[in-house]
Amino acid sequence: MKKIFAFLSLLVVASMLLTACGGTTSSAFKVGQVTDLGGIDDKSFNASAWLGVENAQKELGVTGKYLESQGQSDYAKNIQQFLDEDTNLIVTVGFLLGVDTAKAALANPETKFAIVDYAYPDCWPGAAVGKDCGSDKEIANVLGLTFQTDQAAFLAGYLAAGMTKTGKVATYGGLNIPTVTIFMKGFEAGVKYYNQQKGTNVEVLGWNTAAADGVFAGNFESTDDGRSLAESFVQEGADIILPVAGPVGLGSAAVCKETGNCLVIGVDADWYETAAEYKDVVLTSVLKKINVAVYDAVKRAKDGTFKGGVATYTIKDGGVDIAPYHDFDSKVSAELKAEVEAAKKALIDGSLTVDGVLAK
Amino acid sequence: MPVLELKGITKAFPGVLANDHISLTLEDGEILALLGENGAGKTTLMNILYGLYKPDEGEILVRGKNADIHEPNDAIRCGIGMVHQHFMLIPVMTVTENVMLGIEPVKNGLFLDREKVARRIREISEQYGLEVDPNAYVKDLPVGTQQRVEIIKVLYRQADILILDEPTAVLTPQEVEGLFKILHTLVQKGKSIIFITHKLKEVMAIANRITVLRGGRSVGTVLPAEMNPEKLASLMVGRQVSLVVEKAEAKPQGMTLEVKDLFVRDDHGNLVVNNITFEVHAGEVLGIAGVQGNGQTELVYSLTGLLPSLSGTIHVAGKPIQNTSPRHILEQGVAHVPEDRQKHGLVLTFPIHDNMVLCTYYLAPFARGVVLQEQEILATSEKLAKQYDVRTPSVFVNAGTLSGGNQQKIIIAREFSRPIKLLIASQPTRGLDVGSIEYIHNRIIEKRDEGTAVLLISSELDEILALSDRIAVMYKGQFVDIVPAASVTKEYLGLLMAGIKPENAPAAPSGQRTIEVDL
Amino acid sequence: MTEKPIQPKKEEKAPASGQIRQALLVPALAVLTGLIIGAIIIIITNEKAATAYGNFFGDPLAALFASWEAVATAYGSLLVGSFGDPGKIINGLGILFSTGDSSKFIRALYPLSESLVTATPYIFAGLSVALGFRAGLFNVGAEGQLFIGTLASAFVGYSLVGLPWFIHLPLAILAGALGGALWGAIPGYLKAKTGAHEVVNTIMMNWIAFRLSDWLLNGPMKAPGFRPITPQIETSAELPRFFADPLRINWGFILALLAAYGVYWLLFKTTIGFEIRSVGLNPDAARYSGMSIVRNTVLVMALSGALSGLAGTAHVLGVDRWVGQGFSAGYGFDAIALALLGNSHPLGVVLAALLFGTLRSGATRMQSMAGIPIDIISIIQGLVIIFVAAPAIIRWLYRLRNIKSDTTVMVRGWGK
């Protein structure tokens, strides 16, 4: 027994020495990504952001790493780990990291930060800075990456209105938060625009911008919730569903695939590729190109053009879009395709706006 | 040539020399009794023979050849079969399935061949007069029959040396008779048997030769013809043992326990105590005799608060206690020596000192508020262990590691040392050795003479006769009769136990008697 | 049947050192074996090592060196991540002695602080499950009780304004304990009164707690703004931290140690613990001797729930200071493993919690420096539990003498 312990202690000491001495002090530009609870393989935000880092590694010659958060207290700890490693740019994903990112950024002005789906100032009247919210003004070394996903969702809504056979389409969210409801709002607007153009009366289930309320799963995890939501929407007569709830939506896709009664519209990434098992029920996807935004942030940080503030990605710069129709290419009429394309152009040149349609 | 010979077997456990150079021989076609108190090393020796333990020294010869026994399969190959005290049967399986477990024959390369096994069981059963139905489920069989299934298992594996470990401990007197008949048939047909026991009368009745173990050593091999129970007992215990309980005439005083019109249902809803009325006076022993399973257990449970009663009243020293909590009843001065000491009486994984205060831990001086007073507990436990002759290296030892006799002494010590008015002792000496039985009997009489009311429940008629001042006989949930012990015969009680109440009881010799205890 | 060896006394009294070693041997070897198998997995999944093994017969030394390097990098960074960089600590000490400036030294202790921060909820939750085990109850609901405790203490923490800390902090802690106790007592009551098995009921209660917290965070307890999180708790309800940011070690750790001592005292020094242990080891004997099974079941489940509640409370008041979705990294579930590893003894639980805490905490650095996914720690933890639960494997691996130990953990089976 003694021998085993002696051997073990030797091993421990040796390994400590090895790492202590062999600390790599390469001068490469270092990028670190801190995920939220979804983990790096969430096929959503975190995965998409990491794709951006990976692309930057390939094309810009930076070194990238990620740290997964398993609980709330990991956010600050993971950021701290990257700070300890003198990371040049720290990318944090999601609103849950909002306060911790701001705190770290203010305490380490030399380090650059980019935060996905969040922006500063984020305080509301009466909120305590550094506790309730991150900062009451812009932070010079933090770039917020936000997306006009309503523009892309608008196109998806228009397409869905054109494709529905029952005259009803549906959407639901994970939580009632702006980054989610912006999809639903755009979707509703797209359907409304179609009705205005065609004089039809396609209904949207699951969201009402005027009431600012709709149907929510309450989480971003449970595929079972996705199943039951899809089933009830189908029962109410909807045949196209836009789930804005991460992996929850896969449950809805599964129902559509099994019953053949509905189609889904993917979100964030092109589900035709990322959720290929359901590709025959994926009409299109509302793309939120987090990877593009993250890549941009890395590029700016590296070449010195990084500036704090907010970078909003729109349909104009390609940061949001809808995915190709893939298998549905032959089923979408040329006329409808052209109309979607026209709407996209109008959104780009500003002659058409989501709010404008909703206001009518 | 002997079929089996053990030479100089030695086995030490930490702190215990369980077997110290034990030698014995088993001749062809004989019944050798291995006699010894609990803890004498009988079971260790047999476990070595069966390959469950490895001896530190010594050798085993089977039919003159050195047998290499490392595990039970080796023993089985040598023709040695063991019937354990606690049966190794699966209740929800049939006899056939139990017998074939471990050596399942297969037909057509895939299916279990139950028929073949069943056929063989019938053959064995007929050959040795075992009367076992191969298709019966074990759970439906009485204990005696289950034991015969164990014997069939051994015979099915073609054993010709059978070891029976305390086979009578779980049997009724009638079943013991039946077992002895079977053992005789077995040896007549060429089997040899080692019969492990601590009961003197059984040894005298069945053994061809007797090897006596004491304290891990063999103290000699004797022939029953040269022996009587007293001689055997002193050989086994190492000192003179009194096999009778000396007691003076009881001096009953006021009523301590009064039970009126009691009805109790068991867990399955059967009415098992059916209108019972009796009382026990201070300073007397009321014995409840009866064949096991006639409601004695449930009667005791309802008296001690472990089972609710349906109707009727129970008073202890004038206070009603029916359907109150066990703690309330304890606090009225009721002591309970439970029938199943391992289930109810002890927490086996607790050290002795905790078991000594199992009912009083919350009272001064063992607790102050909620804080246990360890010093008090230890001091009292050590005192009680000494006073009640609990044989243990220390009171820190877990109760589960002690012999049955010493476990029972812990319970006796705990219950008797409290201030009590009523003692309910249920099967107080079941499975114990001579020395412990003698000791516990004397203590019970001592309690009686101190003025405690004693309710004794025992399925051993001799124990009832030896201790009781009055005897109630219970049959199918009712008391057939309550008779004074001094004027009753065993035969009359036997009739009562069978539920028969003769109109004219045969006259019994009057005057004080001592009755020999069945050991 | 006295031929059995005399058993050594269990841990209730100060045992001889040999017995302590005996008690620690299997868990220690289980941890060692877990680490060794973890190392093998690291080697298998390491690209460099895999390539080197592809050419094993050409250059066996390179393969071995690559394996060594992979494991040393991983475990080295795990150790540094758990306990700190020895170089930085020594350097910090030097500065401390030469200039009296302790900041560098304290900063170098950050990894150790994080390990203790992670160990804190583990200690509480492990105690919770261990206490249940002692009474023969399997509390699988620690996670749900933790959720409720967290939310209750956070609510008291942010909603009461203007109280002095010596009222507000105890109130918040009490709220957390009561919340957890309620969540534990419900399945305890159901078990005692109806016989419904606590495993089933506590799992149900977990789900209710998870969904309830989703709802509360999106509704009644939601802070202003759009995020589904609670407001920050008032400073008066915070468990004070010992050092400045980023060190998060706080009074919660001390509370956890006190709780461990409290559970030890309760179990082994009081009549309440005597009853709990009796009920756990032999309910029939407990009933015979006048103890109430019903009362003990409800009491233990409530206490167990309170401890789980405190796991979350200490975390929210000491570390996070707000509550968002997914605030627990599964402490309540890991707690079952902790209780097993610690043999349901408070001291064992503390040691096991420190081990898990350091592993979990060090894993962050390992993930970053060696690129080993944090999941390897879960694998190692899982292996350790398998080996502890099936000590025969360990005894066989290390050729230990087969000493039958009478188990203290005895969860009663299904049925009543």
Residue A314 lies in a domain: yes
In this predicted structure, the answer to whether residue B512 has a pLDDT above a threshold of 80 is no
Cβ atoms of A326 and A290 closer than 8 Å: no
Nearest CA in chain B to C1: B403
Residue C26 lies in a domain: yes
Asked if A219's CB is within 8 angstroms of C79's CB, the reply is no
Q: Please state at what angle helix C251-269 crosses helix C110-134, rounded to 10 degrees.
A: 30
Same domain, C261 and C385: no
Same domain, C289 and C365: no
In this predicted structure, the answer to whether residue B173 has a pLDDT above a threshold of 80 is no
Count up the domains in chain A and report the number: 2
CA A321, CA A288: separation in Å to the nearest integer?
7
DSSP of B477-495: TEEEEEEEGGG--HHHHHH
Asked if C371's CB is within 8 angstroms of A73's CB, the reply is no
Question: Which of A22, A71, A176 is closest, CB to CB, to C329?
Answer: A71
- Summarised one tens digit per residue, pLDDT across range C199-243 is 999 999 999 999 899 889 988 998 887 778 899 999 999 999 998
Any CB–CB contact under 8 A between C364 and chain A? Answer: yes
Same domain, C313 and C397: no
Same domain, C292 and C396: no
**pLDDT higher at A32 or B72:** A32
Question: Which of C32, C79, C328 is closest, CB to CB, to A16?
Answer: C79
Any CB–CB contact under 8 A between C231 and chain A? Answer: yes
In this predicted structure, the answer to whether residue A10 has a pLDDT above a threshold of 60 is no
Asked if C3's CB is within 8 angstroms of B16's CB, the reply is yes
Interface B–C counts its CB contacts (< 8 A) at 118
ipTM over cut 0.90: no
Same domain, A281 and A301: no
Query: Given the DSSP bridges, would you call strands B371-372 and B367-368 parallel, antiparallel or unpaired?
Result: antiparallel
Average pLDDT over every residue of B48-67: 89
CA distance B57 to chain C (A): 17
Same domain, C247 and C374: no
- Our answer on whether B and A touch (3+ beta-carbon pairs < 8 Å) is no
Q: What is the CATH number of the domain that holds A31?
A: 3.40.50.2300
Predicted local confidence at residue B246, as pLDDT: 80
Predicted local confidence at residue A6, as pLDDT: 54
Residue A5 lies in a domain: no
Any CB–CB contact under 8 A between C102 and chain A? Answer: no
Q: Which domain holds residue C35?
A: 21-83+355-406
Asked if A96's CB is within 8 angstroms of C229's CB, the reply is yes
Residue B158: how many CB atoms within 10 A of its CB? 10
CA distances (Å), origin C313, targets B51, C177, C179: 56, 8, 10
Residue A18 lies in a domain: no
**pLDDT higher at A43 or B222:** B222
**pLDDT higher at B457 or A20:** B457
Residue C99 lies in a domain: no
Residue at a domain's end among C341, C374, C393: C341
Q: What are the residues whose beta carbons fall under 8 Å from the beta carbon of B185, sequence distance 6 or more?
A: B128, B129
Same domain, A68 and A206: no
- Summarised one tens digit per residue, pLDDT across range A280-297 is 999 999 999 999 999 999
Using only C-alpha atoms, what is the Rg of chain B? 25
In this predicted structure, the answer to whether residue A2 has a pLDDT above a threshold of 60 is no
* Partners of residue C364 in chain A, C-beta under 8 Å: 67, 74, 77-78, 81
Predicted local confidence at residue B290, as pLDDT: 85
Predicted local confidence at residue C246, as pLDDT: 82
Residue C388 lies in a domain: yes
Listed in order, strand segments (DSSP E) in B36-183 are: 57-62, 65-66, 80-83, 106-107, 111-112, 161-165
Residue C88 lies in a domain: no
In this predicted structure, the answer to whether residue A173 has a pLDDT above a threshold of 90 is yes
In this predicted structure, the answer to whether residue A19 has a pLDDT above a threshold of 70 is no
Residue A20 lies in a domain: no
Q: What are the residues whose beta carbons fall under 8 Å from the beta carbon of A226, sequence distance 6 or more?
A: A217, A243, A245, A247, A248, A249, A250, A251, A252, A253, A254, A255
- Summarised one tens digit per residue, pLDDT across range C291-341 is 999 999 999 999 999 999 999 999 999 998 999 887 888 899 999 989 998
Same domain, C77 and C130: no
Asked if C287's CB is within 8 angstroms of B306's CB, the reply is yes
Asked if C9's CB is within 8 angstroms of B396's CB, the reply is yes
B94-98, B112-116, C151-155: range with lowest mean pLDDT: B112-116
In the numeric block, which tokens belong to residue B414?
A: 């705990």
Same domain, C199 and C74: no
Same domain, A110 and A73: yes
- Summarised one tens digit per residue, pLDDT across range A61-78 is 999 999 988 888 899 999
Residue C93 lies in a domain: no
Produce one character per residue of B224-257: b if its CB has 16 or more CB atoms within 10 Å, e if not.
beebebeebbebbbeeebebebebeebebeeebb
Predicted local confidence at residue C416, as pLDDT: 32
| Strands across the sheet containing B16-26 | B16-26, B4-13, B57-62, B65-66
Same domain, C305 and C395: no
Predicted local confidence at residue C354, as pLDDT: 95
Residue A3 lies in a domain: no
Name the residue type at position C44.
Answer: I
* Partners of residue B361 in chain C, C-beta under 8 Å: 271, 274
Average pLDDT over every residue of B358-380: 93
Predicted local confidence at residue A26, as pLDDT: 52
Cβ atoms of B19 and B55 closer than 8 Å: yes
Cβ atoms of B303 and B291 closer than 8 Å: no
In this predicted structure, the answer to whether residue B511 has a pLDDT above a threshold of 80 is no
CA distance C229 to chain A (A): 8
CA B238, CA A2: separation in Å to the nearest integer?
47
Predicted local confidence at residue C191, as pLDDT: 93
Q: Which of B297, B362, B411 to mutate to test the interface with C (most CBs of C within 10 A)?
A: B362
Same domain, C287 and C319: yes
CA C91, CA C373: separation in Å to the nearest integer?
30
Residue A206 lies in a domain: yes
Any CB–CB contact under 8 A between C85 and chain A? Answer: yes
Any CB–CB contact under 8 A between B10 and chain C? Answer: no
Residue C416 lies in a domain: no
Question: Which of B13, B306, B361 is closest, CB to CB, to C274?
Answer: B361
- Which residues 132-191 of chain A have a CB within 8 Å of chain C? 132-133, 175-178
In the numeric block, which tokens belong to residue A68?
A: 């997964």
Predicted local confidence at residue C18, as pLDDT: 62
DSSP of A261-272: S-EEEEEES-HH
Mean of the per-residue pLDDT values of chain C: 87
In this predicted structure, the answer to whether residue C404 has a pLDDT above a threshold of 70 is no
Q: Which domains does chain B have, with CATH numbers?
A: 4-237 (3.40.50.300), 253-333+421-519 (3.40.50.300), 342-418 (no CATH)
Same domain, C155 and C193: yes
Predicted local confidence at residue B167, as pLDDT: 86
Count up the domains in chain C and report the number: 2
Nearest CA in chain A to C246: A80
Closest C-alpha to C8, from C409, C408, C281, C406: C406
B112-121, B166-175, B296-305: range with lowest mean pLDDT: B166-175
- Summarised one tens digit per residue, pLDDT across range C30-62 is 889 999 999 999 888 888 888 888 777 888 888
Closest C-alpha to A64, from A80, A48, A53, A79: A53
Residue at a domain's end among C311, C341, C371: C341
Predicted local confidence at residue C21, as pLDDT: 72
Q: Which domain holds residue A50?
A: 27-147+289-320
Any CB–CB contact under 8 A between B404 and chain C? Answer: yes
- Summarised one tens digit per residue, pLDDT across range B121-156 is 999 999 888 888 999 998 888 878 888 999 999 999
* Partners of residue C14 in chain B, C-beta under 8 Å: none
Asked if C270's CB is within 8 angstroms of B326's CB, the reply is no
* Partners of residue A246 in chain C, C-beta under 8 Å: none
Residue C13 lies in a domain: no
In this predicted structure, the answer to whether residue C7 has a pLDDT above a threshold of 50 is no
pLDDT tier at C409 (50, 70, 90 boundaries)?
very low
C358 — phi, psi (to 5°)?
Answer: -70, -40
Same domain, A41 and A52: yes
Query: Given the DSSP bridges, would you call strands A112-116 and A89-93 parallel, antiparallel or unpaired?
Result: parallel
Same domain, A242 and A303: no
Same domain, C222 and C179: yes
- Our answer on whether A and C touch (3+ beta-carbon pairs < 8 Å) is yes
Residue A41 lies in a domain: yes
Residue at a domain's end among C341, C372, C396: C341
CA A147, CA A39: separation in Å to the nearest integer?
21
Same domain, A335 and A191: yes
Is the backbone of residue C363 left (phi > 0), alpha (psi -120 to 50) or beta?
A: alpha
Asked if C246's CB is within 8 angstroms of A76's CB, the reply is yes
Same domain, C337 and C363: no
Any CB–CB contact under 8 A between B346 and chain C? Answer: yes
> Which range in A119-133, B3-17, C233-247 is most confidently predicted, on average pLDDT?
C233-247
In this predicted structure, the answer to whether residue C6 has a pLDDT above a threshold of 70 is no
Question: Which of C269, C290, C407 is closest, CB to CB, to B327?
Answer: C290
**pLDDT higher at A222 or C349:** C349
Residue A181 lies in a domain: yes
Any CB–CB contact under 8 A between A70 and chain C? Answer: yes
Interface A–C counts its CB contacts (< 8 A) at 127
A132-141, A202-211, C290-299: range with lowest mean pLDDT: A132-141
Predicted local confidence at residue B510, as pLDDT: 42
Predicted local confidence at residue A152, as pLDDT: 95
Nearest CA in chain B to C268: B372
Q: What are the residues whose beta carbons fall under 8 Å from the beta carbon of B220, sequence distance 6 or more?
A: B211, B212, B235
